[in-house]
């Protein structure tokens, strides 16, 4: 078996102990819960009502093809926002101190096309541990062979144009989840270099039952009740997923693949010679941190640094935590990467794509 990668705190950094102590003191002094507050519950209700409303309008059959197409796009965006704001926190155990509440909200992940059990392995365990490490973090392996996101990846001739075709490919992320990715990850012997655990029997049932439920709600039922042709349905279904996939893909890329983020490789011993928390600072970036709209829609994932350091704290608290994390990083002379706006982060990611494609 491959030797597990370890983070070795060679410099004996006390950054994480210090910032964690300060965050603990913040919640204690303010007498706050680390989980959802009233504002978080209001967001949750808003997005769930929006999802149910959009789906209901589509399935009602009261609108023509062009209106249905617009509603499909809005539903795709809403699915992504539910993933960011509700499911993501629930799957990290951050939404509520009650495990049953987290379990219920994590099941909503099935309604946006993804399997929550597979996500906990690929994202919570692998991505959050081995962030941006080539060969370990499969989240940076977007369309392998087509898009090159690190210097470690081999060069292909067509990648000279990747800054042009990458964004449409990001739009396929959601469709891949629904039709292939979850199945492949579930049955792979390992994800990155992390051995896939032996799955409980109920997860085999959950995978296929919830996928079937998704296909019933989003493929079979619309075809049965709507007065549209098969090709009109395909256009609508693709629109839903292209919008959802593009939103999902961009938020991830703008947090980990922008100028300044590192893609470190293990040393000759197979280890990373720095503390895990320091590694998170070097491989993660915030974007539009002062945008109320970005904060509301992205579920705090525009403050990805705080999320990677404190994934079990509800994202509604990230604006307050960011001041603590940034100040502590400054004291320890560590990077705190930030793009001031969504567009500046998008331009930075575009330049990375262009730069890494030049070798072709």
At 126, phi and psi to the nearest 5?
-75, -55
Whether 131 contacts 308, CB under 8 Å: yes
Question: How do 190-191 and 194-195 pair as beta strands?
Answer: antiparallel
**Helices 230-256 and 162-170, packing angle to 10 deg:** 120
Burial 203-240 (b: 16+ CB within 10 A, else e): eeebbeebbeebeeebeeebeeebebeeeebebbbbbb
Burial 83-111 (b: 16+ CB within 10 A, else e): bbbbbbbbbbbbbbeeeeebeebbebbbb
What is the C-alpha to C-alpha distance for residues 323 and 66, in angstroms, rounded to an integer?
Answer: 46
Q: Give the pLDDT confidence score for residue 190 in this predicted structure.
A: 85
Q: Give the pLDDT confidence score for residue 140 in this predicted structure.
A: 78
What is the C-alpha to C-alpha distance for residues 245 and 242, in angstroms, rounded to an integer?
Answer: 5
At 64, phi and psi to the nearest 5?
-80, 175
- Measure CA 132 to chain center: 13
Whether 314 contacts 87, CB under 8 Å: no
- Provide the Cα torsion 132, 137, 138, 143; round to 10°: 20
Q: Give the pLDDT confidence score for residue 45 in this predicted structure.
A: 98
Q: What is the DSSP letter of 7?
A: B
Q: Give the pLDDT confidence score for residue 351 in this predicted structure.
A: 95
Structure-token pair, residue 151? 């210097």
Number of neighbours of residue 357 by Cβ within 10 angstroms: 20
Q: Give the pLDDT confidence score for residue 359 in this predicted structure.
A: 81
What is the C-alpha to C-alpha distance for residues 339 and 355, in angstroms, rounded to an integer?
Answer: 18
* Continuous H helices in 158-275: 162-170, 173-176, 182-187, 201-215, 221-225, 230-256
Q: Give the pLDDT confidence score for residue 1 in this predicted structure.
A: 42
Point out which residues pair with 339 in neighbouring strands. Answer: 287
The answer for residues whose C-beta is within 8 angstroms of residue 232's C-beta and 6 or more apart is 65, 68
What are the average pLDDT values for consecutive 10-residue runs of the chain, which has 360 residues? 76 94 97 96 97 97 94 97 96 96 96 93 91 86 84 88 93 92 91 84 96 97 94 96 94 94 88 93 96 94 96 97 97 96 96 89
Q: What length is written for the chain?
A: 360
Structure-token pair, residue 143? 């369309």
Share in percent of the chain as helix, strand, coil (round to 5): 65, 5, 30
Structure-token pair, residue 219? 């493929």
- Provide the Cα torsion 62, 64, 65, 68; round to 10°: -40
Whether 173 contacts 83, CB under 8 Å: no
Please give the radius of gyration of the chain, using alpha carbons only, rounded to the nearest integer: 21
């Amino acid at each position: 078996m491959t030797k597990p990668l370890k983070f070795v705190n060679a410099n004996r950094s006390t950054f994480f102990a210090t910032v964690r102590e300060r965050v603990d003191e913040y919640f204690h002094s303010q007498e706050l819960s680390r989980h959802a507050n009233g504002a978080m519950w209001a967001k949750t209700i808003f997005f769930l009502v929006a999802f149910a409303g959009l789906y209901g309008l589509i399935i009602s059959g009261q609108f023509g093809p062009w209106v249905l197409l617009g509603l499909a796009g809005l539903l795709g965006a809403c699915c992504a926002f539910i993933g960011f704001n509700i499911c993501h926190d629930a799957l990290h155990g951050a939404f509520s101190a009650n495990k049953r509440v987290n379990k219920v909200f994590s099941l909503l992940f099935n309604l946006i096309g993804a399997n929550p059990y597979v996500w906990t392995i690929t994202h919570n365990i692998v991505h959050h541990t081995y962030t941006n490490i080539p060969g370990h973090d499969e989240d940076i392996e977007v369309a392998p062979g087509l898009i090159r996101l690190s210097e470690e990846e081999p060069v292909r001739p067509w990648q000279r144009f990747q800054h042009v075709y990458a964004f449409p490919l990001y739009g396929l992320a959601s469709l891949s989840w629904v039709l292939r990715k979850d199945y492949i990850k579930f049955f792979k012997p390992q994800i990155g270099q992390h051995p896939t655990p032996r799955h409980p029997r109920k997860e085999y049932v959950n995978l296929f039952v919830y996928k079937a439920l998704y296909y019933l709600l989003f493929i079979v039922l619309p075809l049965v009740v709507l007065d549209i042709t098969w090709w009109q349905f395909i256009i609508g279904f693709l629109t839903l997923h292209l919008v959802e996939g593009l939103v999902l893909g961009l938020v991830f890329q703008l947090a980990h693949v922008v100028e300044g983020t590192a893609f470190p490789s293990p040393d000759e011993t197979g280890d990373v010679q720095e503390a895990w928390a320091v590694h998170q600072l070097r491989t993660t970036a915030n974007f539009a941190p002062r945008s109320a709209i970005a904060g509301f829609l992205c579920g705090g994932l525009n403050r990805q640094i705080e999320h990677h350091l404190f994934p079990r704290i509800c994202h509604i608290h990230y604006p307050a935590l960011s001041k603590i994390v940034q100040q502590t990083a400054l004291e320890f002379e560590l990077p705190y990467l930030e793009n001031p706006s969504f567009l500046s982060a998008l331009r930075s990611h575009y330049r990375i794509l262009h730069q890494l494609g030049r070798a072709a």
